[in-house]
Structure 1
Amino acid sequence: MHQSPFPRSRRPMLSAVIQTATAVGLLLALRPLAVADEINWDDAAYVPFSVMQAVNPDGTPAWTIPTLPAPSYAQAYKFRGVVLNDSRDMLNSADGAGFMGGQWQVYIQTTETDPQIDFGGAALFMAQKYSVLPIGHGDYTTEQWAAELLRINYPVFDPTGAGVGTPVTEPLRKGDLIEVHARGGFFHKGKFNCNEQHNTDPSFDFDVVILQRDVPLAPTSITLDDVMDASGDFIFDQTRTTGAEYYQSQYVTLENVTISDAANWTQYGAVTVTDGTRSFAVKLGFNDAFSSAALPTGPLDITGIFDQESDDYTSGYRMWATSPADFAPAVPLIPGDANADGVVNEQDAVRLADAWGRAAHASWFDGDFNRDSRVDSLDAAILAAHWGQSMPEATAATVPEPNAILAILLGIVASALRRRRHGG
């Protein structure tokens, strides 16, 4: 029998051992405990995302999971794509975290650039507790869930695709080109998701191998005109060649919108954006940077994953943003103008001070003026160099004297330290 290069956990054995595991290194040592795969994956077909996400005129699925020929008749399919998000920035995978316990999800999209060959993507999802759902079967214990996260977060790296590789020491991440061997999946609220069919039986596992790391991602630029009509209704095209369906599970930049409802600007919250006449939902990921990030203001370009969450299957489109850094000014601003009010002054210095030392996920509106997702002395120097400038004079303004820049920098740092000391 052919063995898959994508190992699955032998859960009864792992459960007893993982109870004593206290470090990732020990968990990684458990990976060789795998069982032979009953599926000959050479017989499984590669499925394009455009086929996987095909729909009928009413939005219901037009694709069904293929089965292998006799004697197996098992569900099995393969696909490849680039990971669009870090799992920890989208859902909370912690043991017992919510209604379904821990949850894990990443989106991947095709690398094909010709839409005549393929377009779009799909989500990979699993959860700890399936018994809470009418169609669910079984729950993972704390130890079993840890083993599942290990299996999926630290897959084999096999750049040759030949089935020979070693487990990675850095977890699956955005920009990884992966191949997935899948045994199940569900159509969920307008789209097909690869998952375990809400069943803890290993025969429903999906397995991942990393083929390449740090693949550059180039989002597709869209406006609300591309997915909505003039009255604000979503454009549903059953052929998926136009409208919202075309962008299903794709990495996009939604251009020139403003936030109209920011009441839930927080970790795992949501905001509503508008182009002046139409509204659109942006779901924020579980990234804790959202809890302290400054609210983006003014016209925005938002980069994220186009998605759908609808019970009628022809509407309910939205997008995921998994980092505050996904929100960028849509129009040129004066370097240092963190609050986008057209002038560089104390208000911008306060924003920078509040985010001082942030090492990841910072946005322009936090003070990340050189767009490296951090707030540090480089950004403070940019703010100081443009201190006092306003939009009409920005191009002609002079840079302050070195002593003035130093004074501004010292003031920013002192303000940051005071705020941290007092918990403000």
Structure 2
Amino acid sequence: MKSPHRFVIAATILLCLPVVSVFSQVITPIGDINSVDEQGLPTFPGLQTSDKYTIEGIVINEPTVFWGGSGERADFILFVQDETGGIQVYSGGWYGGGALTYADVPLQVGDRVRVTGLTGSFGGKTNINERHNKDQKFEIVNLGHVGEPTPMPITDLAAAIQFDHTRQTGGEYYQGRLVELQNVHIVDGVWENGGMLTVADPAGGTMQVELRYSTKIPDSPQPEGIFNIVGVFNQEDTETPHTEVYLLWPRSIADFKTGASAVENWNLLK
């Protein structure tokens, strides 16, 4: 089992590119940008080109809640989902971009946005980003508040983290979307900022849950027993093939829904 990368960098591309051509009014479905092959390698034809692409979707996290480390400048890490999938929009504070760069565009969970920018890949997923160049800013337009999407229910963790390059099932299907792990309990890990938990479902399937630093989730007591967890379904697989390391990023302690379980008499808890 591969170990997840603890601190996200949304692209590995450090290319100096020529003048960018922009297709700003053509909306590309997020699912098209997320396409991969049998090895989990991205197949989107716009990847690593100088073309910019535009997506529209609903914001499912505040842009500084996942920035994941310590330091003076927060990364901008935004997940947006449409009817076809979810995608990360990233700008790094460590190279001069980051959240302050986009502070003039107020965003909250449930806003519908239009984002235009370059694409790059990291950890098994394709993102919209600046390719580590603060001068390659993406454009964000807030189209108004439509409300948080209903989290997609996940009851079978083993099935949820399976790789399916067609993106009809498993991790590729859920990637970048708001989901809810149902009837789980903690079986491993430390309840601390930056901690990595392992949770299990009634059938014994497991999945990792990362407590990102800026969420401050561990400032609250660790939930006990059986509960549901809402969060962004992410992938951080830095090794080829990119077919593993699916994990959940909850956004706050409010995403831990204690008392929600209908499961009784688990053998796993005996």
TM-score, length-scaled by structure 1:
0.52
What's 1:152 paired with? 102
What's 1:82 paired with? 58
Give the drift of 1:74: 4.4
Matches within 5 A, 1:11-410: 41=23, 45-65=26-46, 74-91=50-67, 96-97=71-72, 102-110=74-82, 112=83, 119-129=84-94, 139-140=95-96, 145=97, 149-155=99-105, 171-182=106-117, 184-200=118-134, 202=135, 204-225=136-157, 227-228=159-160, 234-263=161-190, 265-276=191-202, 277-287=204-214, 289-310=216-237, 311=239, 312-329=241-258, 330-331=260-261
The 3 A distance-change label for structure 1 pair 299 and 48 is same
The 3 A distance-change label for structure 1 pair 241 and 38 is closer
The 3 A distance-change label for structure 1 pair 74 and 236 is closer
The 3 A distance-change label for structure 1 pair 40 and 295 is closer
SS in 2 for 1:298: coil
- Alpha-carbon distance in structure 2 between the residues aligned to 1:327 and 1:65: 38
- Alpha-carbon distance in structure 1 between the residues aligned to 2:21 and 2:41: 29
Give the drift of 1:45: 2.9
The one-letter code of the counterpart of 1:258 is H
The one-letter code of the counterpart of 2:59 is V
What's 1:389 paired with? none
8 A contact 2:157–2:201 mirrored in 1: no
Q: Deviations over 1:336-395 (max 9, x none)?
A: xxxxxxxxxxxxxxxxxxxxxxxxxxxxxxxxxxxxxxxxxxxxxxxxxxxxxxxxxxxx
Q: Comparing both structures, which one devotes a greater share of its residues to helix?
A: 1
The structure whose RCO (Cα within 8 Å, separation 6+) is larger is 2
Question: Larger Cα Rg: Structure 1 or Structure 2?
Answer: 1
Matches within 5 A, 1:413-424: none
The 3 A distance-change label for structure 1 pair 40 and 52 is closer
Give the drift of 1:331: 2.4
Q: How many residue pairs end up in the alignment?
A: 241
- Alpha-carbon distance in structure 2 between the residues aligned to 1:247 and 1:40: 29
SS in 2 for 1:64: coil
The one-letter code of the counterpart of 1:50 is G
Give the drift of 1:209: 0.6
- Alpha-carbon distance in structure 1 between the residues aligned to 2:47 and 2:188: 43
Identical positions, percent: 29
8 A contact 1:270–1:284 mirrored in 2: yes
Unpaired segments ≥5 residues, structure 1: 1-36, 68-72, 113-118, 130-138, 156-170, 229-233, 333-424
- Alpha-carbon distance in structure 2 between the residues aligned to 1:40 and 1:271: 42
The one-letter code of the counterpart of 2:112 is L
SS in 1 for 2:64: helix
8 A contact 1:180–1:206 mirrored in 2: yes
Q: Deviations over 1:39-59 (max 9, x none)?
A: 5655x5321111110110111
The one-letter code of the counterpart of 1:108 is V
8 A contact 2:66–2:213 mirrored in 1: yes
Give the drift of 1:126: 1.0
What's 2:268 paired with? none
Unpaired segments ≥5 residues, structure 2: 1-18, 263-270
> Structure 1 runs of 4+ off > 6 angstroms?
none
- Alpha-carbon distance in structure 1 between the residues aligned to 2:100 and 2:74: 13
The one-letter code of the counterpart of 1:268 is G
- Alpha-carbon distance in structure 2 between the residues aligned to 1:257 and 1:152: 36
Give the drift of 1:214: 4.9
- Alpha-carbon distance in structure 2 between the residues aligned to 1:328 and 1:256: 10
8 A contact 1:286–1:322 mirrored in 2: no
- Alpha-carbon distance in structure 1 between the residues aligned to 2:243 and 2:152: 22
8 A contact 2:21–2:51 mirrored in 1: no
Q: CA RMSD in A?
A: 2.6
Give the drift of 1:248: 1.1
The one-letter code of the counterpart of 2:109 is K
8 A contact 1:196–1:206 mirrored in 2: yes
8 A contact 2:88–2:176 mirrored in 1: yes
